[in-house]
Amino acid sequence: AQKRYASLRDLPAQDRNGTTISLMMNAGLMADLPSLKGSGADGVGLFRTELQFLTRTRVPRRDELAQLYRRVMDAADGKRVHFRTLDIGSDKVVPYMKPQDEPNPAMGWRALRVGLDKPGVLRMQLQALLRAGNGRPMSIMFPFIALPEEFTTARDMLLRVRDREAQLGRPVPEDLRVGAMLETPSLGFAPDSFYRECDFISIGGNDLKQFFFAADRENERVRRRYDTLDGSFLNFLERIIARCAVSGTPLSFCGEDAGRPIEALTLAALGIRTLSMRPASIGPVKHLIRRADLTELRQIIQKARNDGQTTVRAAVTNYLAHL
């Protein structure tokens, strides 16, 4: 399949009207990085940092992590990498860091909540990231934020660590951007000041959808009942898109849906300009964007909603089938 799309690798994901969508890749392993060149991704939209913690029996050392993050930056070769700080808990269990007896781990003591309550490991990870940045552009985002002050506290911690490292003469990134993952519905309703304070926002669609529909993403039986292209979820996404437009906050979407053709085209038609996905999805998604007219698709989506269709899946599928 990769071969089939190889001729598109160096072409932009531009629709027939000239609207360009930035296609980035998700990664989490060193082994993922060769795909950056092979897939033609514009950068790494999400680098999950859990794996180095999940595969060990103790907290990794700062130097080990800095070394690994440095190799990620080297492999990216000037393309931007968005590192997500540790998101343990929920489906990612690290027995040596976190109790496993929570009744609802997905809504429990996970991700940034752990980092804010026990900042030692988070601070160590931030130092490792900053050192790996070493004069290069870098983006860092915090997972699973439910309140604006969780973001500002984490960001202030990051900036303090950066200033301290710089004072000590240690390497720090150039053009550091600090972002929030939007994975809980509450942030969709946060005050405007939250949107203004984020250098960028990345929608974690897997978690956002799970909490929007109150349907466990790990439970096949309930997960399949709810369609990402359901009108109420699209209303919610549009609200986030509009709010980011007002504050001028760059918005991306990095859940699995970004790599599914029908969902990806719908997200782009609604106005999301950056999608981050598995490397193998970049070719197929780019192929469709280049054939599509996103303005026309948007009208088709609006019409389906005005006609009272609960999901726009049939309308979008039909449009793509006739490209």
Chain contacts with Mg ion (rule: CB under 5 A): 183, 204, 207
Q: Which does 48 bind (CB under 5 to 8 A by kind): ligand PEP, Mg ion, none?
A: ligand PEP
Contact 232, 282 (CB under 8 A): no
Give pairs for 119-123: CB < 8 Å, separation 24+.
119/157, 121/59, 121/86, 121/97, 122/85, 122/86, 122/154, 122/157, 123/157, 123/161
| Smaller CB separation from ligand PEP, 87 or 263 | 87
CA distance 113 to 48: 17
- Minimal distance, residue 13 CB to Mg ion, in Å: 24
Distance CA 99, CA 97 (A): 7
- Applying CB under 6 A, which of residues 179, 255, 279, 283 lies at the interface with ligand PEP? 255
Give just the sign of the alpha carbon dihedral 73, 78, 3, 20: positive
Q: Which stretch binds ligand PEP (CB under 6 A): 68-76, 101-109, 202-210, 297-305?
A: 202-210
- Asked if residue 279 binds ligand PEP (CB under 6 A), the reply is no
Choice between 182 and 269, CB closer to ligand PEP: 182
Whether the CB-CB separation of 97 and 121 falls below 8 Å is answered with yes
Does residue 297 contact residue 316 with C-beta atoms inside 8 Å?
yes
- From the list 187, 229, 254, 282, which residue makes contact with ligand PEP (rule: CB under 6 A)? 254
Binds ligand PEP by CB under 6 A, chosen from 115, 179, 204, 279: 204
Rounded Cα–Cα distance for residues 317 and 311 (Å): 11
Interaction partner, residue 46 (ligand PEP, Mg ion, none; CB < 5-8 Å by kind): ligand PEP
Which of the ranges 69-77, 200-208, 243-251, 290-298 carries the binding residues for ligand PEP, by CB under 6 A?
A: 200-208
Q: Which is nearer to ligand PEP, 121 or 297 (CB)?
A: 121
Which lies closer to ligand PEP via its Cβ, residue 141 or residue 269? 141
Taking the least distance from each CB to ligand PEP, the nearer of 252 and 304 is: 252
The reply on whether position 173 binds ligand PEP by CB under 6 A is: no
Token readout for 191 is: 């005050």
Distance CA 26, CA 82 (A): 9
Q: Minimum distance from CB of 314 to ligand PEP (Å)?
A: 25
Could you say whether residue 152 binds ligand PEP (CB under 6 A)? no
Determine, following the binding rule CB under 6 A, whether residue 205 of this chain makes contact with ligand PEP: yes
Positions 180 through 199 that interact with ligand PEP (CB under 6 A): 183
Q: Rounded distance, CA 5 to CA 16, Å?
A: 18
Residue 250 tokens, joined: 């760059």
Alpha helices in 59-147 (DSSP H): 62-76, 112-117, 119-133
Q: Which of 48, 80, 110, 243 binds ligand PEP (CB under 6 A)?
A: 48
Tokens for 69, please give them: 């993050």
Interface residues with ligand PEP (CB under 6 A)? 46, 48, 87, 183, 204-207, 254-255
